[in-house]
Every structure is written in C-alpha cells, then in structure tokens.
Amino acid sequence: MRLSDVFSGDEFVVSIEIFPPKTEKGDEALRGHLKQLVKYRPAFVSCTFGAGGSTQDRTVQWCQEIQNDLQRPAMAHLTCVGSTRDELIEILTTANQAGIRNIMALRGDAPEGQNEFKAVAGGLQYANELVELIREHYPDWGIGVAGYPEKHQEASSFEIDLQNLKRKVDAGADAVVTQLFFSNDCFFSFRDRCREAGITIPIVPGIMPITDYARIQRITSMCGSSFPDDLASRLAAVQNNKAAQLEIGVEHALAQCEQLKAEGVPGIHFYALNTSGACRQILDALSAG
C-alpha cells in the first residue's frame, strides 16, 4: 500500500517509526517489539536512514523484513547527506528491487563535525529536490516529507520554514509527518499555517512517548522541540525512577493523542525508539476510548 492510499479515506491510521539497531542483540529485541506492535495493524512502519547513509543497506533490509515477515507496508527514509544524484538513484533502484514503494524524503542533518549541511559534488541541496528525483524515476511511489511545528532549527523564521515545506509539497509529496512535539497547541498552530499557505495534503502529528527523561532531553536538544515546564518538573522529580517516568510519559502522550484524534488528525506517527511498551499502552487506551 502506498502512502497516498493510506490517507485516501476517513479512517484514523497509526504508523510506527524504528531505526536499524547496531548489534544482533538489538535486532532480535526489535523483532520482538515489532511483533507486538504489528498486532495494532499500523498503516506503515518507517525505518530511518543513518547519517551519511551509514545504515543505508540496513534500512532496506529492515523494510524488506517488515513487509515480507510482518506483512505490513514499509517506508524507507532517504536523505541527501553524502550522496550524489546518481548514488541516490542507485539507492532508489535497490529499494525498488526490494519491493519498497514508500519513501520518507529528507534533506538530512549535517554530518557530525560539520556546522551546516553542504551537498556533496553532484548531490542535492534540498529535500524538495529529492522529492522531485523520486517522482521523476518512480512517479507512483508514496512520498512523505517532514514538517516542523516549532520550526526547523536552521530556518530563520516560521515563514521561511513554511515556504520550504510548500516547495516539498509542490514537488510531489503525499503527506507531511511532523517532528515530535509535546504541546498540541504547537501542532494546531502549525496545521493552521499550512492550510493558509495552501498545503492541503494530510499532516500527520509525530508523537514520541517519554520513557527516559535524560534521553528525551538529549533528543529535544538536538531537534529543537520545546518541553513544557510542568512536564519537565514532574519528570525531574522522578528522574531516578524509570517506572514513574514511563507512567508520566504515557499519560502525557495519551492525552496528546486523544486530543489530536478528537480534532480530526488523519493519524498519528509514533516514534517508538525501538521499544513497544509505551506505544502499546497508548494504543490500547485509544482503542478502548
């Protein structure tokens, strides 16, 4: 199933994001978590693409496994980092041979040690160019792009960031999946600005359930997502109690999801961090509600 088909009706859909583990032990653990998560029939499972293409082969392998063994549609992430146009076409060819028909098209972050993103000679500078490349070679594929409710860190203003998103959409994207956020007001404001700018494709909120306060602090510092003071205070008070952190994280994410669903979002994309416990609790509560 392609991304355009996923959001073709009025049904609320769920999707899951994973990353390729670095060890065999991590692989086995992820397989166990995915077997639990696919019971909820996610519309697709996406797999990230390492910095500089460091997990390129692993991304394709995991997408194959998701589709062949778990019988769920997969979406492979692809970035412009470290690849020429011809190399990107080769990656797309490999993905096509593996049966992948959905791509999350991203510019990607600057490699470690570099202050800003710079395209390699013969490469692509912007995500909209990657969307155009995919559409040129595989016009029927599903293409997702990233949106930033709190603005991309490199954008000088919300207006500039929205113009960048509009270019990606106009290049042929099927859906926008947002960066993680912890305040729904940020998402609703972003959605309104998108609609005013003429972006009419589905805008899917990305939710990351908090399971470890220290880890989420590192993640938000890298991606620029803000952290509500009251939530931070509650988590700081139990920073030595993992079970309490999970309970607070699930409670907050569930409240987000319930409000988002009530406000008519087409679905929710869960950043699962290769675990299943928090997502399962939230999905059980949503299905019961």
Q: Which residues are catalytic?
A: 17
Chain centre distance of CA 242: 25
